[in-house]
Structure formats: structure tokens, C-alpha cells
A and B are shown apart, each in its own frame.
Chain A
Amino acid sequence: MSFPAGTAAARDLASCHTCWKLVAVGSPRCPRCNARVHLRAHDCVTRTVALLITATILYIPANLLPIMTTETLGVSQDSTIMGGVVLFWKMGSYPIAGIIFFASVMIPVGKMLALFALSWSVWRKRATQRHQRTVLYRITEFVGKWSMIDVFVVAVMVALIRLGGVLTIQPGIAALAFAGVVAFTMVAAQGFDSRLIWDAGAGEDE
């Protein structure tokens, strides 16, 4: 494996993932913080893709099944994520409809697509558009946790309504599935080693 000139790896130096100290390749632990040191997380692409596939599968029940069930005077009503967005839109609460749509649909779908594309490009050792891909990766890392909004909304609603006792709200299985989607995509993004984007095509002219 050759690394591009000017990188730490080309000089047999690994960077500690936790404290960024340079360590000679081969030393198992960082002398400063004692964390395990790897030159690259080489199996990271396989791991990222496996986590992404899990998240994608979970995203289907997260959207099709009810995220919560409201029960008033014996009449129960299921609501899905998109159902909630549509309801708020019709009621004229455009900002809320927008926030939920953005957090529950745009961010997770965009993030999964971006990570699939990044994994594919690294797997194919593509050497172009490194800056754009790095920026894309930074965005996926940054926005991921905002998808949790809808899960928190359900939690607060259920707790509040239980307290009130007028009507009951039951959290749906979709809330669990959706929390899983967020957790799996966050772990997938964290595990992805962006240095692999820059390793491709060492010694080749682009």
C-alpha cells in the first residue's frame, strides 16, 4: 500500500484518533492518551456499508408504521411521520411541518445517500472531487443528530398526555425504528475514515 507524498502515512507515522499525536506505525497504543492507534480503519468501508444497509432497512418500517397512536374516547388514530407532516401543513403550521419534514425525511435520506456514495467512491478508489467529498462528509457528520427531533417530540408528547389523562398517546414501533435509523447512521458516519478519500490514486497523475 502506498500513500501520497506529504502524508503522515507515507512516512510511516500514524495519527492517534483521539488526541491526534503522531505515533510510529507499529506501536499499538498512543503514548499520550493510551488509545489504540491504527494507520487507517481499513475495514471501515465494509462496516459503514453494513451499518447503512441496516439503517436503510429500518427506515422502511419507520415510515410505514405509526410513530404514535392517539386515542380519544375509545377512537384510536394512528399517525405516521409523513402523516404528521401533511397534517401540520394542512393546519397551516408550515414551520413545524418544515422542521419535521427536514429532520425526519431530508436529513436521514440525504445522509444515507451521501454515505453510500462516499463509500462507493472510496471502494472504487476514485481520485477526483476530493474537496467536494470531504465537505459532503463534514455535512453528514454535522447534521446527523438533528434527525432525533421527531423521537424527542413523541417522548415529550407521550409523557405530557399521560400526565393529563384526557386522551392517551401510545408511542408506535416506528419511533423505535427511527431512533435506530439515527443511531446506525451516526455510527456509520463516525466510523467512516475520511482520509481514505485522500489516499486514492497515490503516485498517479489525476
Chain B
Amino acid sequence: MLMANEQGMGRHSSLRNSTSVPKDGMELTKDQIDRQIACHECDALLDLKPLTKGQRAVCPRCGGLIQVARDDHLTRALAFAISGLLLLPIANAYPFLGFERGGLENMFRLPQAAQILFQNDAQFLGIIILVLIVVLPAVLLALVLGLVIPLIRGRNAPWLIPAGRLLYGMNTWNMVEVFVLGVIVSLVKIMKLATVVIGISFWAYIGFALCLIGAISHLDRLSVWQAIDRVSSR
């Protein structure tokens, strides 16, 4: 069954708009090339068809996702990003975790955690926390805002293209949700040794992580690049 599907790209042409796919061997014009796309997972040449809201385009050959047309994807991404922007200072400037002893709280803030690790012969853990947990998520949020705001206003901006490249390139290393689960596991571990105080920044960071993931998940790659095309050709 799967085999038939694999070979049968021609036979299954009804899945694509076969009328506008020229036969192999014929030269494609620039216009035709611009109206087509190759599946990034299997390289099937497909027609780009405008999607209506809520529709998703899936590659008929490998099942890979080509495009999702979300309702107001840019506005929703902006809403998530702004919420994230409000939570970010709280997540970094307020106490994250700590202990309470004799009525006194001894807490650390998230950037301080990197500093404590640095000063205690755990430099590489300090770097991991600083880069992956403090800096990278803030940069990703800035990239989302830098992309979404000009695109919503329909204006071109000189940083749109580099921002698009950086956002999709760096998002693979976005580990905010892994860190949150890691903190929860550590809390369970350490609760057996001592009473841990959970600071406001812990909750703010969870909120920030959800907002960042929410914002990026609304930015469908192909739709964003098409939007960049539209504003830059103006």
C-alpha cells in the first residue's frame, strides 16, 4: 500500500492540481517556479495553492507538513509575544528558588544561578543556563516581535530577512520547556533534603515559556516567508 503511494506520484496526481504541473522535460517559467514549492522532507514538487483559514497543506508523497493557515496567526503570535515580554523581566529579576531558615529567605534569581555555578567550578553548567535559559529565549522573543510587528503593519523593515533566518535556525535549541520539567524534577529530588521556597520568578518563567512556545507555534514558516515577500515587494 505504501509502496504504491511512493511510486505513484504521477498516478496520484489528483491530489495535486495536475493541470498546472507541466510535464517533465519542459522548461518552467519563473512565474511557474514561484507558484510551486518542494516538500522540504522528500523534495516532491508541489503547487502552492492559497489556503483558506484553518486549512493545512500536507505533502501527498511523504505526509510532511507544508503549510498551516491559522486564523490571524500574526496577531495571535503578537499577543503571545507581548505577554511573554511582560513576564520576562519578572522571570529574570525576581527570586527563582531558595531556602527559608529562621524566617529568613535565601533565594537566587535566574541569572544569579548562572553566576553561582560559575563561581563554584561548574562553569559549563553556568554557561548552559546563561545561554540556553536566560539569553536565547529572550533573543527568540525579540526576533518574534521584530518579525511580527512590521508584518502586521504591512511595512518592510531591513531586519525582516535576517530575523526570519535566525528565528527558524535557532528555535531548535529552544529548551525552555525542557528546563521547566528539569526544575520540577530537581524540586522533587531536593524536597527530600530540605524545604525549598518557590519564588515568583519560577511561575513567571513557566508563563514566559508557554508564551514563547505559543508565539513561535503560530508562526508557520512558509506563511511568514510569504508575508515577508508581500511587504518587501511593496
Contacts and interface: CB of A to CB of B under 8 A. Distances in A.
B186 A99 contact: no
Contact of B42 (A5, A24, A154, A195): A195
A81 interface: no
Contact of A96 (B2, B40, B172, B188): B188
B104 interface: no
Interface stretch (A45-53, A54-62, A111-119, A156-164): A156-164
Contacts of A77: none
A15 B33 CA distance: 11
Given A15-B38, A175-B125, A6 B120 contact: no
Contact of B113 (A129, A156, A198): A156
Interface in B158-216: 161, 164-165, 168-169, 172-173, 175, 178-179, 181-183, 185-186, 188-190, 192-194, 196
B189 A96 contact: yes
Given A130-B62, A171-B122, A160 B40 contact: no
Contacts, number: 207
Contacts of B63: 131, 134
B185 A149 contact: yes
Contact of B2 (A8, A131, A199): A131
B5 to A, nearest CB: 8
Nearest to A158: B122
B93 interface: no
B146 to A, nearest CB: 15
Contacts of A20: 37-38, 40, 221-222, 225
B45 A7 contact: yes
B128 A179 contact: yes
Interface residues of B, number: 69
Interface in B22-56: 24, 28, 33-34, 36-38, 40-45
B129 interface: yes
Contact of B120 (A9, A158, A199, A205): A158
A15 B43 contact: yes
A75 B173 CA distance: 38
A149 B225 contact: no
A171 B63 CA distance: 43
B24 A153 contact: no
B6 A206 contact: yes
A197 interface: yes
Interface in A77-113: 88, 91, 93, 96, 99-100
Contact of B9 (A6, A129, A163): A6
11 contacts: A8-B43, A10-B45, A11-B45, A20-B221, A148-B175, A151-B128, A153-B185, A155-B113, A155-B117, A158-B125, A190-B172
